[in-house]
Amino acid sequence: MAKKNLALGRGLGAILSEVGQAYENNLSDNSELVVELDIDSIKPNPYQPRKHFLHDSVHELSESILEHGLLQPILVYEDQNNDYILIAGERRLRASKLANLKTIKAIVANIDITKLREIALIENIQREDLNPIDLANSYRELIDDYKITHDELAKKIKKSRTQITNTMRLLNLPGEIQKLLLEEKITQGHAKMLLSLNNEEQKIALGSIIGQKLSVRDTEMLVKKIKTSDNIHKTSLKSQDKIISDQKIIKLKTLLKQYSILSFIKNNSLVLEFSDKSKIDEIIRKLSSE
C-alpha cells in the first residue's frame, strides 16, 4: 500500500510542532497520512517512557475500539530493514491486539532516529491519562537532556511551571509509595500530602490511607494531625532539656558558692570570679574528685 511519510525535524520545538501536526483534529481514515498496517509487523518502542499499563484500562480501551474503531492512529517509523517501530501509541497498540485486530491505523513518520526518545517523551506528556510518576520521569528526562529549566520546559509544552515542579516532586517519595501511585492504589492528591512528612510518618499515614480508604481531604486532616503531634513532642523534649539544663546550672552554682566563688551566665557561658588563685586550685581538685 502506498504511503506518505510525515517528516519530523530536529530540536524540541520542531518535534512539538510536528507531533501536534500528526495528531491534529483526531486524524480519520480520509487523512492522506494514515495507512493500515499489519498489527504483528509493529515492534515496540525501545525508548517507551511509559512503564506501567493498567490491565483494566487497556481492556476498556480494547472494548471501545471494538465498538467504535480506533479513532486516533498510532505513530511509527520504518527502519532500514523495512520493519515498523512504534513511536507513540503503545496503549492503543496493546488494546488493538487484545481486540484480536489484524491491522491498525498508523502514520509512518520519516524521523531523525536520534530524536526517537524525545518524540516518545513529548507525545506521552500530551496525553491526559499518563500516570503522574511516568509524567514526572518524562519531565525530568527532557530537562536533563535539553539542559533547560522548569520555566523553559513549561513554555515549550504549554503547561504551568508549578504543575511541572509539583509533579516532579513526586519522585522524592519512597519507591513503595511511587509503586502504589503507579498501581492507582493512591491518587496524586494523596501522594502530595505525604510529601510533607518524614519516612516514618509517611508509613503511619499510608497505613491509614489504604486501610481506611481515606479521601484526599481526610488525608490532609490526618497529615495536619501527625505534624501537630510531632511539633508538640519536639516542644516537650526541648522543655525537658531546658529543665535538665537549668537544674545542672543551679547545682553547679551551689557548689561554687560553697567555695565563695561568684558565678553568672553571660552569652550562654558560665563566668566565674575568683577572689584569689588558691580558690582555682581548690575547685579543680574538687571537680576532679567528683
**41: amino acid identity, one letter:** S
| Listed residue (179, 94, 165) closest to 136, CA to CA | 165
Dihedral angle computed from the Cα positions of residues 52, 53, 56 and 59, in that order, rounded to the nearest 10 degrees: -170
CA dist., res. 226 & res. 215, Å (int): 16
Contact predicate 100/46, CB 8 Å: no
Dihedral sign of CA atoms 61, 115, 113, 10 in order: positive
Residues 6 or more apart whose CB falls under 8 angstroms from that of 214 comprise: 190, 208, 222
90 has catalytic annotation: yes
| Listed residue (204, 178, 201) closest to 191, CA to CA | 178
User: DSSP state, 185?
Assistant: S
Dihedral angle computed from the Cα positions of residues 36, 38, 43 and 49, in that order, rounded to the nearest 10 degrees: 40
CA dist., res. 270 & res. 249, Å (int): 9
Choosing from 32, 67, 78, 90, which is the catalytic residue?
Answer: 90
Q: What residues are labeled active site?
A: 90
